[in-house]
Structure 1
């Protein structure tokens, strides 16, 4: 084996080792810290026992390795067994207290049930449809999770995204205005932002977007 071949094999080996170590570190980073996950589950269970009257169970944990949430890194996944709302329980690093996303998730589900059938009736199949309330909505508006509540009673403003898997049509502006009107008048949403764009399988078809904030 000549010198050049030996050097090539050595360089390849170092690169392979480096890639292997990087892959291992990346995989470990994606999984998170088991001790932190256990810790948040213990904290969440105590919080749930003191906060919710309905049976609520923890079924997992979330490690926010992508930085989607600014106030926590680990959260417990919980479900209210009465209304089957799934939500997060976490320690807010900014407020220094345990919090949850129950009301935000509950109202998102309620609003979707009230408006999605109408939107699909007007537009047909959708590529994407989602509603997002701020995760601290219940805390911000002092909503008691143990009493019946509806988004209709509060000024909380969600973001509603509608993505259509087709090219724009000349009637879309009229349809969009009808949808916004329905959301306000028939679904009873006081404030919010509605966005409608053109996307197919996650890929934009056109840069046209309709948006209304009320």
Structure 2
């Protein structure tokens, strides 16, 4: 009996120790490296000095510990003190080159400001609204401080994502078609897509997508 109890306690101790080790490893992996944060700040500072004319300010760093971004692990968070646009500067994993997301962030904020009121009027329960130019040619075509064209002159298709904490309703398609018409006739975008994702409804609601 004593031997069985001893083995039981030993097993419990090993399990607890293993769980503790896993927790420690998880915490270490989730904690950013101060050295790498300083390194990306220094590289970003040199990049901003060579690519922009002084209106950009580093205010923080981003550690991608969950693998949400393909291009980097550490990035500098930067703001344009003139217009308030926030963007990232980082060393691209594949090429080792420093790049920025200023143009993408600029156009995303511009589009969001142009359409968000119309979206909220039709989907007042929207939990999150995101205008995205990610995955287009903008980030490679406009690097550093260059003259950016009007948003209407971009020959790319942004995606406007709307998250709703409810199921699909019968008039949702009508509302999306109205937003598409606004993007075409009022905002005058040549291409765009709208994606509505339902959360909290039934599994058949899926995602509603319209594009032109």
1:88 aligns with 2:88: yes
Distance 1:143 1:63 in 2: 22
TM-score calculated relative to the size of structure 2: 0.88
Distance 1:51 1:59 in 2: 18
Distance 1:168 1:53 in 2: 48
Contact 1:53/1:146 (<8 A) preserved: no
1:120 alignment partner in structure 2? 120
Gaps of 5+ in 2: none
Summarize the Cα distance change of 1:136–1:38 in structure 2 as closer, same or farther, 3 Å threshold. Answer: farther
Summarize the Cα distance change of 1:162–1:61 in structure 2 as closer, same or farther, 3 Å threshold. Answer: same
Summarize the Cα distance change of 1:204–1:137 in structure 2 as closer, same or farther, 3 Å threshold. Answer: farther
Length, aligned pairs only: 211
Contact 1:132/1:159 (<8 A) preserved: yes
Deviation at 1:157, TM superposition (A): 2.0
Distance 1:54 1:213 in 2: 39
Gaps of 5+ in 1: none
Please, what is the CA RMSD of the aligned residues?
A: 2.2
Q: What pairs up with 1:37-48 in 2 under 5 angstroms?
A: 37-48=37-48
2:73 alignment partner in structure 1? 73
Which has the higher mean CA deviation after the structures are superposed, 130-139 or 118-127? 130-139
Offset from partner CA, 1:74-115 (integer Å, 9 cap, x none): 111111111111111001122331101111111111111110
Summarize the Cα distance change of 1:136–1:42 in structure 2 as closer, same or farther, 3 Å threshold. Answer: farther
Deviation at 1:190, TM superposition (A): 2.0
Contact 1:101/1:136 (<8 A) preserved: no
Contact 1:62/1:77 (<8 A) preserved: yes
2:32 alignment partner in structure 1? 32
Distance 2:11 2:83 in 1: 59
Which has the higher mean CA deviation after the structures are superposed, 9-18 or 162-171? 162-171
Which has the higher mean CA deviation after the structures are superposed, 164-173 or 16-25? 164-173
Q: What pairs up with 1:84-163 in 2 under 5 angstroms?
A: 84-134=84-134, 137-142=137-142, 145=145, 147=147, 149-163=149-163
